[in-house]
Amino acid sequence: MSGVVLDVRDAAVHFRSRGGFLRKAAPPLKAVDGVSLAIAPGETLGLVGESGCGKSTLANAILGLVPLTGGRIEVAGRAVDSADRVSLSAIRSDAQMVFQDPALSLNPRLSIGAAIGEPLLVRGLATGQALRDRVASLLKAVGLEPDHASRFPHAFSGGQRQRIVIARALALQPKLVICDEPVSALDVSVRAQILNLLVDLQRERGMSYLFVSHDLSVVRHIADRVAVMYLGRIVETASMSVLFGKPRHPYTQALLAAAPEPDPVRQRAKPRRVLDGELPSPANLPPGCAFSSRCPLASDLCRSERPTLSARPDGASVACHHAEE
């Protein structure tokens, strides 16, 4: 497909455990198992799911931080090959990442100006005054003062540090920014500032976001389309309004029902449907549909045959044998 910023086709990341003396090799842990998705220029795709569903592994695989065991990932038309350092370096000028905890993403001994300028310096794109000017304009773009460049990360609050991390991610003018839980570690009022900033930056610069989050209210606010992951597979994708207005997969429905709304009247009027049980281990998946062990609609068919994603007229795709019931 041409024109897409990110094209993931049937990607798989399996972690194999090595057997040892007196110990049989365990079956591979299928963290990501046959995922396909694409992101258009300027689009935001929200990737949601609970811990252990493989959303962060997928984000890491896109940047070549973990090797693929199957399938193919292309960033701006270039295949990601985690073993090829030269091509990885090219990909990272097109795709950058913002992680959850800004305190852990910044080197405490590097001034923030040096941190933000490093990608430019490493690639020989700017030095001296030109570099300082670029850093100053990046700081301004994320709402910080240019003369803060000489300060160190400890001098900044959590929200400001996340702005610094975003400025660093923007330094190479990437086409895709992967945001892995970018506001989860922040206080509520600061969260709103960072979300506003991400929306503004996208309007100004037109890059795409892969927005990984477990927080549905945040995803509803920022995403154009949403993909829901469960145990390594995508169970539903749809435009934001279709997914939140008419969720089809029973897991999506359960997630939406479980996420408390910050409005007591609406929240208490919601039908209480508490999903039983817990996530099975991805190393030991049930045969058939991975959700069948917790699904209220599960039938014998679900326990024997894995449902595939099938497209619906409104652009949604759902992997469920009983989605219309």
Partner 1 sequence: MAAPVLDIDRLRLDIGGAAVVDGLSLSVDEGEIVALVGESGCGKSLSALAVLRLLPDAVRLAGGRILLEGKDLASLDMSAMAGIRGRDASIIFQEPTASLDPLMPVGDQIAEALTAHRAISAQEARLRAREMLVSIGISDPDRRLAQYPFELSGGMCQRIMIAIALICGPRLLIADEPTTALDVTIQAQILHLIRQLVAERGTAVLLITHDMGVVADIADRVVVMYAGRVAETATAEELFRAPRHPYTALLLASIPRAGIMPKSRLATIEGTVPPPSSHGAGCRFASRCPLVEDRCRIESPPLADHAPGHLAACWHSDQVATLGAAA
Does 78 sit near partner 1 (CB under 8 A)?
A: no
Pick the piece of the chain touching partner 1 (CB under 8 A) from 21-29, 162-170, 174-182, 254-262.
254-262
Pick the piece of the chain touching partner 1 (CB under 8 A) from 2-10, 165-173, 255-263, 307-315.
255-263
Q: Residue from 89, 107, 150, 217 that binds partner 1 (CB under 8 A)? A: 217
| Rounded least distance, CB 87 to partner 1, Å | 34
Does 218 sit near partner 1 (CB under 8 A)?
A: yes
Size of the site for partner 1 (CB under 8 A): 41
Does 148 sit near partner 1 (CB under 8 A)?
A: no
Does 310 sit near partner 1 (CB under 8 A)?
A: no
**How far apart, in whole angstroms, are the C-alpha atoms of residue 167 and residue 184?**
18
8 Å CB contact between 248 and 323 = yes
Type and span of the H or E element at 163: helix 158-170
Does 275 sit near partner 1 (CB under 8 A)?
A: yes
Does 59 sit near partner 1 (CB under 8 A)?
A: no
Question: Residue 121: which of 134, 109, 137 has the closest Cα?
Answer: 134
- Measured between alpha carbons, how far is residue 212 from residues 5, 100, 199, 315 in Å? 16, 10, 15, 21
In the complex with partner 1, the residue whose CB is nearer, 19 or 260, is: 260
**How far apart, in whole angstroms, are the C-alpha atoms of residue 32 and residue 61?**
9
Q: Residue from 40, 88, 259, 297 that binds partner 1 (CB under 8 A)? A: 259
| Rounded least distance, CB 90 to partner 1, Å | 31
Q: Residue from 272, 300, 324, 325 that binds partner 1 (CB under 8 A)? A: 272
Q: Residue from 17, 107, 137, 157 that binds partner 1 (CB under 8 A)? A: 157
Question: Residue 108: which of 74, 154, 72 has the closest Cα?
Answer: 154
Q: Residue from 84, 145, 147, 278 that binds partner 1 (CB under 8 A)? A: 278
8 Å CB contact between 163 and 143 = yes
Q: Residue from 187, 246, 301, 305 that binds partner 1 (CB under 8 A)? A: 187
**How far apart, in whole angstroms, are the C-alpha atoms of residue 78 and residue 97?**
17
The partner residues of 237 in beta bridges, in order of sequence, read 227, 317
CB count within 10 Å of CB 323 equals 20
8 Å CB contact between 170 and 144 = no
The partner residues of 177 in beta bridges, in order of sequence, read 96, 209
Does 108 sit near partner 1 (CB under 8 A)?
A: no
8 Å CB contact between 127 and 158 = no
Binding residues (CB under 8 A) for partner 1: these are 50-51, 157, 187-189, 191-193, 195-196, 199, 214, 216-218, 220-223, 240, 244, 254-255, 257-268, 272, 274-275, 278-279
